[in-house]
Structure 1
Amino acid sequence: CDVALPCATQNEINADEAAALIKNGCMAVSEGANMPTTIDGINNYLEAKILYAPSKAANAGGVATSGLEMSQNAAHLSWKEEELSKLLRDIMRNIHSACVEYGDQGGGYVDYMKGANIAGFRKVADAMLAFGAI
């Protein structure tokens, strides 16, 4: 396959299965489930430098939409589909931009896992600093 979209359960792709995907020419893995690839499988993706979109970034749209829905309900608003789609698109573009900013490895390769981890850490750290927690 050209693209793998593991969307079922945790740890459904292990090191051997990841190696088989790579050997068979898979160019990208985008996780739709929560952590469907084991750490050894992820290491195979990163070593092979295929595009790997970890669940924390690729699967964020569902969580973002839930947050938007809660905001809408709390404010007693009713957004049109186009407005909600634009808000979600902006959120996902910002996630992508942060992953690229923090995960750029040079030579055109982006380590989206590294980028997502650093971006997430920065977001939490900035919030903790802003609220005087640290």
Structure 2
Amino acid sequence: MPDLLVEHHGVHVLVCDDDGAPIGSLQDALDHLVGAAFEGAELVAVPAGRFDDSFYDLSSGLAGAILQKFATYRLRLAVVGDISHHLLASAALPDLVREANRGRDIWFVADLDELVARLAPR
């Protein structure tokens, strides 16, 4: 299935394909996520498995660079899927996830249903 641009509760969401290109560098994120979002997306929903393990190892700096690039381009990001094994392996990642999920620009969600629920007006 290719990436799909859909609308949920008035927000244009680029739902990325599970089988898309892996994201192992900042350039990968720019090429395959940010570039694709320019077709009208406000939020990019990326399957957690598309990110290289180094994204979840905060000491690599990859997550910080990608999150900063999304902020620079005023795009929102949702990492969609189970990242529990990464959370167990890291002391810092759970804090990042908790803080990100308190905001409105970066979310870590279990599935697309959770994302759609978070986008619903309150």
TM-score by length of 1: 0.28
Greater helix fraction, Structure 1 or Structure 2: 1
- Structure having the higher strand fraction is 2
Comparing both chains, which one has the higher relative contact order based on Cα–Cα distances under 8 Å and sequence gaps of 6 or more? 2
